[in-house]
Amino acid sequence: MFGTRTGRMGEGQLDTGPAVTPAADSAEAALALSEARLRRAQRIGLVGGFEIDLESGVNHRSGEYMALQGGDAEAAIESHEDWVRRLHPDDREAAERRFLEAVSPTSGITDYAQEYRIVTPDGEIRWISARAEIERAPDGRALRMVGAHVDVTTLKATEAALERSRAELSDLLATLDLATVMARDIDGTIQFWSRGCERLFGWTADEARGRMARELLGTVFPVPFGEVEATLLREGEWIGDLINHRRDGAPMVLATRKVLRRDAAGAPVAVMESFDDVTALRQAQAALEALNHGLERRIAEEVARQEAAQARGAHADRMQALGELAGGMAHDMRNILQVVGSAASMIAEEVDDPSRVLAMVDALRATVERGDAVASRLLAFARRAELSAGPVAPAALLGELRDLLDRTLGRACTCEVAVAPGLPPLLADRRQLEAALVNLAVNARDAMPDGGAILLAAEAETIAAGDAPPCELAPGRYIRLDVIDQGQGMDAATLARVTEPFFTTKPPGEGTGLGLPMAKGFAEQSGGGLAIRSAPGQGTTVSLWFPLAAENAAGH
């Protein structure tokens, strides 16, 4: 490996000896070519050879060896101490001890191997893998060591990265085990059953593994099972509600996500499924939906009666129509009028009996009082009743609403607040204002089926004489409250009708069409107004203007 040079390697001359024959020349040329190829392979493979005379302590190093140590790529002769000095301080003692133990007369070792770090003259740290054979005398003395160094720095970095990945995977699996997660084969056989599944369903992992998932859980699908599997194979996932059963037979509604795993060739091999118990939530949604259906049915009946009356006369303005169409109130008023009519007839018949007339008058008085109460409720419903206006701090109002909405809008939506600094109080009925803003926020959430952010904003705005405000506003100073969503938006035709009573953009059974008209009526009655900006795909902004409390205090 190192040739037969004399003195310091690389400095002596080859002993040419007697004249060589052409055949010898050819053999030497072949040997030189072979050695050149070997050196090239060593250089490419980051391998350096060495030979140590263990009796003299002389270390012969190849050029490739010296290059691995950070020196010049020239063969050299070193001492044992030169090697020790290059060892990393943290590895020096152990590496030297391992070497000395290997070459000791009593060890009997003929194969030597160890890995350690060195520090090059430039300060670079490299990992070295040393492999060698030890030649020994008959009495066991180590005479010579011949071997090679391999630079395994890249391999060590890869191993470290792999170990980190394994640790991260271990943490991930530990976390995954706490979640309600199941893994199954394509045919449905359960292979993984987390502790979260054990808590939710009641079967242990040992009991669940190897069972067919649909049979174990008694799964009821919202569509045929074949359609679910087809969607899973086509799109890689399926999301929806499933009815599954606990070990005790109790049914549960589970929001389920199925994710398909494929092998390197693209063939499906497994399905990961996660579950979230939404039984109580779905029951509450069903009850709310039934309540909404009942309310809409009553409203629809009143609308039909009012439309028949409107066909014989002029249309009332929007907010008057809203009050007149309040569900159930017209029926109460009709009963009151029947009492009044009956009492009037009886008075006419008993005109000669003062006591009977007085009794009828008392009945009429009580009926009138009842009629006044009904009228008050009608006016309140139409937002034309007297409001309890007072100063409202915009920052505090929107901050409290954000806390409320964060709990009610659902996890898919977030609520943010942006209030200009130093805003003065506005003048409004706080209770009615909160109700209007909550209604607008719910509308914003419904306009974002995939979730998003809802922004509640407030800032001061001055309307000067000659301005063209977006709604009917008298000149003056106002606080403008904005409810902004990132939803689907509305086209011009829809936007023109959106504040009409009972007009809604929501599917049948999901909206009454009363929220925006009521908010508009409330803002106008408070001395402000309402305007809406929207376009398809660009979201919607609903703005409410209210007068400043300080500038209107003298009038109250």
- What is the residue extent of each domain of the chain? 22-151, 179-277, 285-381, 390-555
Which residue type occupies 227?
E
Residue 553 — very low, low, confident or very high, per pLDDT cuts 50/70/90? low
Percent pLDDT > 70 in the chain is 74
* Residue with token string 């090679």: 148
Q: Find all residues with CB under 8 Å of 403, minimum gap 6, and list them.
A: none
pLDDT, residue 502, reads: 64
pLDDT value of residue 3: 37
Q: Which two tokens stand for residue 441?
A: 């926020």
What pLDDT is recorded for position 472? 86
Largest CA distance in the chain: 167
Cα–Cα dist 122/492, whole Å: 72
Mean pLDDT value of segment 12-23: 46
Indicate whether 169 pLDDT > 70: no
Return all residues near 57 (Cβ < 8 A) that are at least 6 apart. Answer: 79, 80
Q: What is the 3-state secondary structure (H, E, C) of 494-552?
A: HHHHCCCCCCCCCCCCCCCCCHHHHHHHHHHHCCCEEEEEECCCCCEEEEEEEEEHHHH
pLDDT bucket at 2, cuts 50 / 70 / 90? very low
Specify the pLDDT at position 442.
86
Nearest-CA neighbor of 47 among 188, 173, 152?
Answer: 152
Run of H or E residues at 75: none
Highest CATH level, class, for 179-277: alpha beta
Averaged pLDDT, 422-432: 91
- Give just the sign of the alpha carbon dihedral 460, 465, 468, 474: positive
Helix/strand/coil percent split, the chain, to 5? 45, 25, 30
Q: For the sheet with 529-534, list strands across it.
A: 413-419, 452-463, 476-485, 540-547, 529-534
Cα separation, 525 vs 423, whole angstroms = 22
Helix axes 515-525, 430-446, angle to 10 degrees: 150
The pLDDT, as a whole number, for residue 380 is 47
Let me know: does 96 contact 89? Beta carbons within 8 Å.
no
* Choice between 6 and 264, residue whose per-residue pLDDT is larger: 264
Please count the CA atoms within 13 angstroms of the CA of 299 that sit on its side-chain side: 17
Q: What is the CA radius of gyration of the chain?
A: 45
What is the CATH architecture of 390-555? 2-Layer Sandwich (3.30)
Residue found under tokens 């009356």: 309
Token readout for 68 is 């691995």
Query: Using 50, 70 and 90 to split pLDDT, how confident is the model at 219?
Result: very high
Look at 411 and 430; give whichever has higher pLDDT: 430
Q: Can you spell out the DSSP letters for 265-324?
A: TS-EEEEEEEEEE-HHHHHHHHHHHHHHHHHHHHHHHHHHHHHHHHTTSPPPPHHHHHHH
Is the distance from CB of 62 to CB of 50 less than 8 angstroms?
yes
pLDDT above 80: residue 21: no
Burial (CB < 10 A; 0-12, 13-18, 19+), residue 70, is middle
pLDDT of 315 reads 44
CA distance 325 to 6: 116
Measured between alpha carbons, how far is residue 438 from residues 403, 434, 452 in Å? 12, 6, 16
Highest mean pLDDT among 118-132, 409-423, 482-496: 118-132
CA dihedral 377→382→387→390, nearest 10 degrees, is 130
Q: What is the mean pLDDT of the chain?
A: 80
In CATH terms, 22-151 corresponds, of 3.30.450.20, 3.30.365.10, 1.20.1260.10, 3.40.50.12660, to 3.30.450.20
pLDDT of residue 16: 39
Contact partners, residue 498, CB within 8 Å, separation at least 6: 490, 505, 516, 532
Judge contact between 132 and 139, C-beta under 8 A: no
Query: What mean pLDDT do residues 409-427 have?
Result: 89
Among candidate residues 10, 116, 132, 12, the one with its CA nearest the CA of residue 72: 10
Beta strands 413-419 and 452-463, pairing class: parallel
Q: What is the pTM (predicted TM-score) of this model?
A: 0.36
Query: Per-residue pLDDT for 509 more than 50?
Result: no
Identical fold at 22-151 and 179-277? Answer: yes
Q: What's the rounded Cα separation, in Å, for the pair 157 and 438?
A: 57
Helix or strand or coil: residue 127? Answer: strand
Q: Name the band, by pLDDT with cuts 50, 70 and 90, for residue 13.
A: very low
What integer pLDDT is reported at residue 517 of this predicted model? 80
Contact 353, 304 (CB under 8 A): no
